[in-house]
Structures are given as C-alpha cells and as structure tokens.
Amino acid sequence: MAQWLDLFLQTDRPTNLIFLGGEPTLHKDLPHGIRHARRLGCRSITVDTNGFLFHDFLDSITPDDLDYLSFSLDGLTAGVNDPIRGAGVFAICTANIAKAVRQGFQVSVIYTVSSLNINQLDKMPALLQLLGVRRFFIQVIGLRGKSAQKGGLNLQVSPEEWLTKIPPVAKAASDKGIHVIYPKVFLDDDEKFQCAGNIAENYFIFPNGRVYLCPLCEDMPIHTYRIEDGRLIEQPGLTEKKLLSLNIPEGCVMNKLLQPGNLRYDKQGRPRYRISCCLLKQEHQPAL
C-alpha cells in the first residue's frame, strides 16, 4: 500500500485520496495506509465505509489522520435502507456515525438515489443535522444493464425526478449548515461536455494492479495502466483511454456503452439529453 501511494503521491501537485471498496476497513492495515498518505502530504484523505468500521477502526486512527469519514446510508429508516444495504445496517451505520462524530471525526454521508429511496431524500437533511454530519453526497444510481432492475422494478430515476427533487434537497441541507455535493448528470443545452478522463487527472487503483481513468470502467479489462514491479505501465491495445476520446452526441461514452438504459431518444434517433461526466459535481456550500 505504501509503495503504491508513493507512486501516485510523489508530486508537488495537491492530491485528494479516497480509500473505498468493497469495504476498506476490512483491511487491518488501512490505518497504516492513511498515516503514510498523510506523511506524503495528501491534501485530503477520505475513507468511504458501509458503516461497520471493522478492526476497531475509530480507535486505530485519530481525527487528525483523516479529513472525512464517509458513510453510505440509503434511507431515512431501516425499512428503506436495510432492503438496499443489508439487514440491520441502518442501526449499525447510524450508531457508528454518532460515535465517529462524538470522537471528533468529520463525517459525511453518501445517499445513492434510486426509485426505492427517492421519496425519503427530502427528510435526510434533518437526520444528518441531528447526527452531526458535515457533508452530504447525493449520488445517482449507476447500474449497468439488467442490474438496474430489481425484482422487475426499474431502480433508475428519471431526468425529471432528478432535476426537480435533488436541487431543493441540496438547498435545504446547505441551509442547515451541511456541505452538499451531487453529480450534474444531465447537461443543460448550452453546457459544454467534457470527459474528466481527457482533461483531468484521476486514478482509480485496484488491488489487482489495474489503474483506470474512468470509474465506470472498473472490473473490465480495459484499464489504461497497470502497476508492475512498482512502476505504472500504460497498457497496449484497446483501453478505456482510446474510447474516452470518442465524441458522441449523448455526451459520456461509457454511459452510452455501459448504462444505455439512462438514455432517451426522439423519433429521429437524436438523444433527448446529454449525460455529463459522472465526475462533474455541483456543490452547495453550507449557508450557516
């Protein structure tokens, strides 16, 4: 872990690092990785967790080691959250959020919006304020092909629902002093499309040594780089990097290839809207 962090953090450019999974706290050496990244001068370090915080994670690091501890919570109640995230998860996750806040950690929550939980989203700011959560990520469900269906139910929310329901909730949360971040998803007509894989520098690094430029490509053998013998090596052949340079009217190439269910077309076959890069975020800074 330390060698690989050295590989990516040995620059004078500010770097934001997120440990995510699976569940990163399952790895007993995660605190070692966090402290190593801190020593290397990372601008920010975040851990995304399902809330279980294995290996006594909160007692293995200090609030100074970490900028944010980010919990996935997909409902206001156990009745909505647990069918999505697992039996008993709501109670464990909210108890550990409260514990982390008590111990002085900055806590954020990631809420992945789907048709199963969008109706509880407007109540979330009050719960987050009660729990002492400082930052709220509203994420759009990005399931591929058939996995976007659960028991015959379409989990994806429509553009109309996303555009009408998300901004008011973001505003309500920021009015309560919470920093809110959510993806743009649908570009306005006059907005320029840009692919972060082409214009920014993000690396999605997997334990098997694969390194991707686009988070949607994970699990597929089209990674741009691989780590071998402590070096970052560009892959030959067809990789995501070559696909990212394609210019298509739908916007994001990988969305078109992997999540075509997100797209709608008119009778002439023209896309009704363009999908932005999933890394393009909108923010509401806390109003208090």
Binding residues for ligand SF4, per CB under 6 A?
195-197, 214, 216, 244, 252-255, 277-279
- If the CB atoms of residues 1 and 20 are measured against ligand SF4, the closer one turns out to be 20
- If the CB atoms of residues 164 and 245 are measured against ligand SF4, the closer one turns out to be 245
- If the CB atoms of residues 6 and 218 are measured against ligand SF4, the closer one turns out to be 218
Class of residue 27 by CB neighbours under 10 A (exposed 0-12, middle 13-18, buried 19+): middle
The CB-of-189 to ligand SF4 minimum distance in angstroms stands at 18
Residues in contact with 172: Cβ distance below 8 Å, sequence separation at least 6, in sequence order: 122, 125
The CB-of-256 to ligand SF4 minimum distance in angstroms stands at 9
Q: Estimate to the nearest angstrom the gap between the alpha carbon of 101 and the chain centroid.
A: 21
* φ, ψ of residue 205 in degrees (nearest 5): -110, 130
Number of Cβ within 10 Å of residue 87's Cβ equals: 9
Tokens of 219: 């699990």
Amino acid identity at 4: W
- If the CB atoms of residues 130 and 200 are measured against ligand SF4, the closer one turns out to be 200
Number of Cβ within 10 Å of residue 193's Cβ equals: 16
The closest of 175, 51, 166 to 117, measured between CA atoms, is: 166
For residues 122 and 20, what is the distance between their CA atoms, to the nearest angstrom?
26
- If the CB atoms of residues 73 and 196 are measured against ligand SF4, the closer one turns out to be 196
- If the CB atoms of residues 51 and 197 are measured against ligand SF4, the closer one turns out to be 197
The CB-of-86 to ligand SF4 minimum distance in angstroms stands at 27
Tokens of 126: 């009050």
The CB-of-23 to ligand SF4 minimum distance in angstroms stands at 23
Say if residues 181 and 136 touch (Cβ distance below 8 Å): yes
Query: Nearest-5° angle of CA 252, CA 118, CA 195?
Result: 15
The CB-of-77 to ligand SF4 minimum distance in angstroms stands at 32
The CB-of-211 to ligand SF4 minimum distance in angstroms stands at 14
